[in-house]
Amino acid sequence: MRRSALLEIIDDVGHGVTPDLLPEDFPCLDACVSDNPHITPDVATRIAEGLGRVDIPTFERAVRAIDEGELAWIGFKVVFDAEAAQANVDNQVTKKYGEVGSADGSDLAFFVSDAKEIVASRPYSARDAFQMKDVTRGPSMHNDQFNGLTWVSVPLFDPVRVWLLGASDAASEVARLAHHVGFAVEVVDDDPAYVNEERFPSAKRHLIGDFSELGDLKGSSADYACVLTRGHMHDHESCVWASAQGMRYVGMMGCKGKNERIHDLCIASGMTEGQWAAVKRPIGLKFGAKSPAELAIAIVAELVDVRYRQRYDAQARARHEQSLGR
């Protein structure tokens, strides 16, 4: 989300002008990319036309969240059947949400933080609050739980960047799944037959002459790296580069014998024993994965877990586990 886009919305509605909710800033409202069947081509325009001065505090709070680095979202209640949206459909499962459905039958823009702070221009029902807070899970878990409306959101923080070092078949599978769960994916390889749009449609692609050129790429200490080179031929260059960037997570595929050889090559290339020890090997959660698609599930599950532990301290994780009954 561009901070400048939020400021432009604030300025436009302050002057009585309908703002542009551009797809690059609000992909959740883009019918071309959204998986939500209720996000039709007219939704973004309809929501934009409904925004007014009363919505300025919502977007101002979003700007502050970006400035302060909060985990927070801009969300939208999208109504396609006003009567159904407001109906009470409580049952034995949803009984706690009260005697009413949604507070009204109109679209609504709102802000919600991971701390469950909500800012909106109109009153909302208990059931609305539940669904607003639900977007803090990322893609909403219950966005279509009730009839007549749906809920979508866009994060106000940058996604974690994942480098796929090597455009192997496993990397191709990882790229698709990692993108789907909210990572920003970049893939590097030296063969255009592998690092191309067909194999990596949602990733930023880097075609290098050979892996000695990795040093021309710049990562950060907030990034994750998955070493998945074809045939393991460039694993050691990849480990050395990712470790030199100080990346938060580095994982490498491989067996014990191969790892010992890669260790010797990494140390000979200037990597310290401490850096080598920090490389997760083999990469991914342990559950017997063998095929590229199965390995991708194991790898991305581990990435999600690393991200979860990075964002939430032990106490918060314990509360979450308790809420799930585990």
Q: Are residues 135 and 229 in the same domain?
A: no
Q: Are residues 189 and 235 in the same domain?
A: yes
The first and second tokens of residue 236, run together, are: 């050691």
Q: Are residues 240 and 306 in the same domain?
A: yes
pLDDT of the residue at 94: 65
User: Within its chain, how far is the Cα of 57 from the centroid?
Assistant: 25
Q: Are residues 175 and 261 in the same domain?
A: yes
pLDDT of the residue at 143: 76
> Which of these three, 101, 131, 155, is where a domain ends?
155
The first and second tokens of residue 205, run together, are: 């692609």
Of 207, 268, 270, 262, the residue nearest 241 (C-alpha) = 270
Q: What is the length of the chain?
A: 326
pLDDT of the residue at 69: 92
Question: At 33, phi and psi to the nearest 5?
Answer: -120, -20
pLDDT of the residue at 139: 58
Whole-angstrom Cα distance, residue 320 to residue 326?
Answer: 9
Whole-angstrom Cα distance, residue 275 to residue 264?
Answer: 13
Are 243 and 279 in contact, with CB atoms under 8 Å apart? yes
pLDDT of the residue at 140: 60
Q: Are residues 146 and 41 in the same domain?
A: yes
> Which of these three, 132, 155, 178, is where a domain ends?
155
Q: Are residues 104 and 205 in the same domain?
A: no
pLDDT of the residue at 311: 87
> How would you class 64 by CB atoms within 10 Å of its CB: exposed for 0-12, middle for 13-18, buried for 19 or more?
middle
| Contacts with 190 (C-beta within 8 Å, 6 or more apart), sequence order | 207, 208, 209, 210, 211, 234
Q: Are residues 150 and 165 in the same domain?
A: no
pLDDT of the residue at 163: 98
Q: Are residues 284 and 168 in the same domain?
A: yes
Q: Are residues 198 and 293 in the same domain?
A: yes
Q: Are residues 230 and 295 in the same domain?
A: yes
323 occurs within a structural domain: no
Q: Are residues 271 and 187 in the same domain?
A: yes
The first and second tokens of residue 94, run together, are: 């949803």
43 occurs within a structural domain: yes
According to DSSP, the residues that pair with 76 across neighbouring strands are 109, 152
pLDDT of the residue at 313: 85
Q: Give me the domain span that covers residue 124.
A: 3-155
Q: Are residues 182 and 96 in the same domain?
A: no
pTM of the complete model: 0.85
Give me the tens of pLDDT residue by residue for the chain, a chain 326 residues long.
Answer: 899 999 999 999 999 999 999 999 999 999 888 888 899 999 999 999 999 999 999 999 999 999 999 999 999 999 999 999 998 776 677 666 777 899 999 999 999 999 899 999 999 999 999 899 987 776 566 777 888 999 999 999 999 999 999 999 999 999 999 999 999 999 999 999 999 999 999 999 999 999 999 999 999 999 999 999 998 999 999 999 999 999 999 999 878 888 899 999 999 999 999 999 999 999 999 988 889 999 999 999 999 999 999 988 888 888 878 877 88
> How would you class 137 by CB atoms within 10 Å of its CB: exposed for 0-12, middle for 13-18, buried for 19 or more?
exposed
Long-range contacts of 100-105 (CB under 8 A, 24+ apart): 100/125, 100/127, 101/125, 101/127, 101/146, 101/148, 102/77, 102/127, 102/128, 102/146, 102/148, 102/149, 103/128, 105/79, 105/148
Q: Is 79 helix (H, G, I), strand (E, B) or coil?
A: strand
CATH code, domain with 288 = 3.40.50.720
